[in-house]
Every structure is written in structure tokens, then in C-alpha cells.
Amino acid sequence: MRYVSLDRVVPGMELAYDVIDDNGRLLVGSKSKINYNYIERLYEFGFHGIYINDEFSEDIEINSPISQKLRRRGMDCLKKMDIDGCREVASSIVDEMLNNPDISIDMQDIRTFDNYTYAHSMNVAILCTAMGIGYGLLATELGYLATAALLHDFGKLMIPEEVLNKKGKLTPEEYKLVKSHPVMSYEAIKDREDLSAHIKVAVLYHHENVDGTGYPKGITGDKQTIYTKILHVADVYDALTASRSYKDAYSSYEALEYLMGNCGTMFDMDCVVLLEKYVPLFLKGTDIELSNGSQGIIIENSGMHNLRPVVKLYDGKKVDLLDPLNMNITITKSQGKALGISEANERGRRSMIG
Ligand SMILES: [Fe+2]
């Protein structure tokens, strides 16, 4: 199984992973043979790539941290703004992930602009749960964290899409409206006595920076809970790696570089390190080019291999970048793109974070 960007997809390829639409409904099922019609529909829906099965990548297994069924159920509950449903989904995410001995968030997300908030909230819940497990939180605490992650952007569901997806600069009023979403999310849950205060506080403060420059209150890291700090890091990581109408997606490498570069100002360093434990710089099954000119795909990540993965070259040879003999080799391109944050992406990111 490997990831292929849509411009490299050709008819006859076999889909390896379900593609779902904005409503969490199945658009093209795994094992389908791709034809021109499917490719056109994938472009229309705004997808950027798909996972395929082929002979070269048949030994590569990429496991989603949660089942596709649960992902779809979560997106459905978010769409309906069903708080009870979200709580149940949060506890199922925790159960599924606690039962997965080898968590690696290795999968490139397959989503469109339009389902952004639903897919984003599900992804943030998965990232938060992985980080919470790494931090040593108990199952109940992980449930608070995953619930906060699912509910954190509820307020955005009340903001018109033309404002959320606006390409140009937001007017001061629109910007104020977007920035009010943590308070709106909090307002939607604050009277629920069955929700822990940990959840409400994390939702309200998920845009607070550790140096006190965030919003809505400008509280510093020493006054933030671990739930707030983890949620902030997971939220920004997932926002950066998504494509939006006003910016291209950052690669995992670029997003982690950005997070690390903002430790101590925006983010708590321990939380960024926790994220790096579970999110590889280069996702499994993606195309890369090495500094010696050879090309292949990533076939193994985990632990130190998150930084120095194992690569299968197109001639079939394997190169373990963690091997001292290969330490002088670096990855120079990922999915045909030179590494590094482009100026255009950085401008988009600035307009997003404000
Ligand atoms: Fe948010």
C-alpha cells in the first residue's frame, strides 16, 4: 500500500483505502479499480491523493489508528452537533487506541476542504489520545482529552462557511467572529453538568499560547492544564497538514519543524516532543528522493526511525537511514517537493493563525 498524489493516479490502479465524502459516506471503496470517472470525481471533491495497492508496495501495511467505521461515526456526530454521541465516540477512540500496541500516526489524511471541521476534530482527537497515552494519562483522563478534542471547534460550526473558507484577507469583523469560536464552543457545553471541567477548560483555552499571546484570555503556560497544552499542539499540527482554500497542506516534516520552532512561545516543548514520538517526519508509503539521487518510498517508521526511516528504493533495495553507514544520506524531496516550508505556505499559515 502506498500514497499517490492525484496527478500521478492512472486508470487501472487499485484503491487500498476507502474514500469518504463530506458526510462520512463511502465515495469509493477499497479494492475498487480506478477509472477516469473516479479520478474526475476525486478532483471534483477536492481530494489530493489516494492510497493504492500495487506489487511494489504489497509488503507495506499502513494501519489507521482507529477503524474507518468509528471515523465515519465521529464525523456524523460532529455534523449533527451531538454532544452525547461525541462522548461515546471519544471513549471508543480511547478503547481502540489503548488496544493498539503499536500506535503510529502514519497515515496521510484523505479529506476535502468542505469536511474540514469534522475531519479535523476527529484527527485532533486521535493525535491527542496518542499524546495522552504517551504522557501516561489514565483511561478516564484520556476520555476527557478526546472529548475536548472532538468538541473544541464546535463554535466554528456556527460560523458561516464563506467566512471560514474565505480566500482573501478577513475583515476585522470576520476575524473577530473566527476568533470567538473557542468561547462559542465553551458556551455550547458549559452548562452540561455531566462534562468534566477539564473538558470545558481545554475547549475554552485551546488557542492559548504558553507565552500568553494567545486568545481568548492570554493565559500563560503555567496556568494551562496538560489537556489544554496537548490540544493546542495537536490542533495546530492537524490544521497545518490540511489543505484549505487559502493554503496548501504542510507535509508532516514541515509541520513538525514549525511546531518545534515555536516551542516556548506558542507551544509547550514536552507536548511537541510527545507528538514527535507518534508522528513520523515522513509518512509510511510516501515517495521520497535521497541526497544520493535514488528514489523510493518510506517503508518503516517508529521510534528513532521516525527521524531516520527505512526506504525501499524503486530498484527493490532497502536503505536503513539509521544505519551508521547511511548517516550521510538525507531525504531531499518528499512527494516530488523539495523539503522546507515554502514562502507561499508560510504566508497562508500566518493568515490562518493570525
Ligand atoms: Fe480552534
Q: What is the pTM of this model?
A: 0.88
DSSP class of residue 13? P
The alpha carbon of 89 and the centre of ligand 1 are apart by a number of angstroms equal to 20
Predicted confidence at residue 235, as pLDDT, reads 96
Maximum CA pair distance of the chain?
61
Sheet with strand 49-53: strands edge to edge: 2-5, 49-53, 14-15
- For CA atoms 86, 63, 106, 39, the dihedral sign is negative
The alpha carbon of 148 and the centre of ligand 1 are apart by a number of angstroms equal to 11
Predicted confidence at residue 354, as pLDDT, reads 46
d(CA 248, CA 351): 13
Mean pLDDT by 10 residues, the chain (354 residues): 89 89 77 93 84 90 86 90 97 95 74 72 95 97 98 93 86 94 97 97 98 97 98 95 77 90 96 92 89 93 86 95 93 82 65 56
d(CA 314, CA 334): 15
The alpha carbon of 120 and the centre of ligand 1 are apart by a number of angstroms equal to 10
- Tell me the chain's radius of gyration from C-alpha atoms: 20
Find the distance separating the first CA and the last CA of the chain, reported in whole Å: 38
Predicted confidence at residue 105, as pLDDT, reads 82
d(CA 343, CA 321): 29
The alpha carbon of 203 and the centre of ligand 1 are apart by a number of angstroms equal to 8
The alpha carbon of 33 and the centre of ligand 1 are apart by a number of angstroms equal to 38
Q: How many CA atoms lie within 13 A of 344 on its CB side?
A: 6
Predicted confidence at residue 295, as pLDDT, reads 95
Place domain 68-280+342-353 in its CATH homologous superfamily.
Answer: Hypothetical protein af1432 (1.10.3210.10)
Predicted confidence at residue 297, as pLDDT, reads 93
The alpha carbon of 218 and the centre of ligand 1 are apart by a number of angstroms equal to 15
> Considering the domain 2-53, what is its CATH architecture?
Alpha-Beta Complex (3.90)
Predicted confidence at residue 113, as pLDDT, reads 58
The alpha carbon of 156 and the centre of ligand 1 are apart by a number of angstroms equal to 8
The alpha carbon of 232 and the centre of ligand 1 are apart by a number of angstroms equal to 8
The alpha carbon of 250 and the centre of ligand 1 are apart by a number of angstroms equal to 18
From the CB of residue 261, how many other CB atoms can be counted at a distance below 10 Å? Answer: 13
